[in-house]
Amino acid sequence: MKITDLKCAVIGNNPVIRILTDDGIVGIAAGESNKAYLKPMILFYKDFVVGKDPTDVERVMLSIRRLGAFKPWGTAVSMIEMALWDIAGQAAGVPIYKLLGGKIRDRVRVYNGSIRFPLEGNQPEDYADAMARMKALPQKFSLIKQAVGFHDAMFSTVENFYYGTPVTEGRYPNRGPMTEKGFKHLISCIEAMVDVLDGEVGLALDCGPGMTAGDALKLAKSVEDMHITWLEDMITGDYTPYVLSDLYLQVTPYTSTPIHTGEQIYLRQNFVELIERNAVNVIGPDPADVGGLAEMKFIAEYADLHGILFAPHGTGDGLIGLAALVQLAATLPDNYIAFELPSGDTKWWYEILTGLDSLTVENSHIVVPENPGLGVSFIEDEAARYLTGADQGFFDDK
């Protein structure tokens, strides 16, 4: 079998790809929403993969892996890797998890970082109301993640939240020391959420990037009695092209609150210091940014050797990304906590894919499906309705 074409389109907000083969098998993958600008970069890799055997996944990846970088520039490589596994699974007639060593769990736990209710503001009562509504969701999530501080609008809506001038353009550009007022406000919002969840549902907090190491430690110490599941990306995180393990080492050893980071990091080499130095307690790569599924499994296993827990990111990866995460999570070692449930950014996404009926969340778990490959595929006539401009030939295989 040989790859004959690599095609990319933007459907909704998600870049999606199709890898075509001379056997007629097609592999698909999707990148995180709001990355439509990546299409030219994805197509750059076409000449590197056409003519290769897609079932020799690692051989294909060796030709392109070093051409990626930290989020968002690892997305193209990651998408290609996932589509290759989709092809390999279909060719073998087995789900991807069989090709990654087999599953060790029949159900995978997910957490809610995607099904949201718009906040009326950034006051304690607003966060409490959101928690009450999410706690009542029919999926019965056992863990909810909420953005606070520098990761939501709190830094700009709360006057004098930090010693800096808030910038609302760009991808999480704000950074600086928090004021006493800002810190107390943040704590009051966390307390309000914890009170609503009342120990029945876990709470994780997405805090940055942007906090100083001193503020990060102060926050972690202040919430120790609240049993927060983890504090995420306080110092680095979304769209920060570096790791800063030395700063995390000023926090993690001095608190019992679990510290989490990793969604922006590309490739295993860039996790080495975080893992070997135990700079954090939990890491959370995203399969659509880290380099793909096999890369992510290696990182999870290496983290497990060092006592570090694993909670993958995935909120913007869409429904195709959801299928990929389920396959991967079934194979991960016992350091696995849960992955962040991706969802369709618009309702019509649920109308253009087959296989979604097997990805239903019940009691915070998804049963691992047995369909070959990723287990989902486009309903091409329906999906084609959402193609625009030059993308309209995306499903034309002639």
pLDDT in tens, 245-261: 999 999 999 999 999 99
C-alpha 318/C-alpha 346 separation (Å) is 10
Across the range 350-358, mean pLDDT stands at 96
- pLDDT tens digit string along 290-320? 999 999 999 999 999 999 999 999 999 999 9
Give the end-to-end CA distance of the chain in Å, rounded to a whole number. 18
Q: Quick check: helix, strand or coil at residue 10?
A: strand
> Which pLDDT value is given to residue 370?
98
- DSSP strand E in 121-270: where? 143-147, 202-206, 230-232, 259-261
Residue with the bigger pLDDT between 12 and 145: it is 145
> Which pLDDT value is given to residue 302?
99
Least confident of 96-105, 111-120, 214-223, 257-266: 111-120
Domains of the chain, first to last: 3-93+378-393 (3.30.390.10), 98-374 (3.20.20.120)
- pLDDT tens digit string along 130-139? 999 999 999 9
13: pLDDT strictly greater than 90:
no
Q: For residue 198, how many other CB atoms are within 10 A of its CB?
A: 9
Q: Give residue 273's pLDDT band: very low, low, confident or very high (50, 70, 90).
A: very high
> Which pLDDT value is given to residue 211?
98
> Which pLDDT value is given to residue 397?
87
Q: In the predicted model, what is the mean pLDDT of the chain? A: 97
Global pTM reads 0.96
Across the range 68-95, mean pLDDT stands at 98
Q: Give residue 346's pLDDT band: very low, low, confident or very high (50, 70, 90).
A: confident
What tokens does 214 get? 């001193």
> Which pLDDT value is given to residue 398?
66
In what side-by-side order are the strands of the sheet with 259-261? Answer: 143-147, 202-206, 230-232, 259-261, 282-283, 309-310
What tokens does 393 get? 């030939």
Instruction: Give backbone dihedrals phi and psi of 156, rounded to 5 degrees, phi first.
Output: -105, -25
Q: Give residue 394's pLDDT band: very low, low, confident or very high (50, 70, 90).
A: very high
Q: Quick check: helix, strand or coil at residue 29?
A: strand
- pLDDT tens digit string along 324-333? 999 999 999 9
Q: Quick check: helix, strand or coil at residue 337?
A: coil
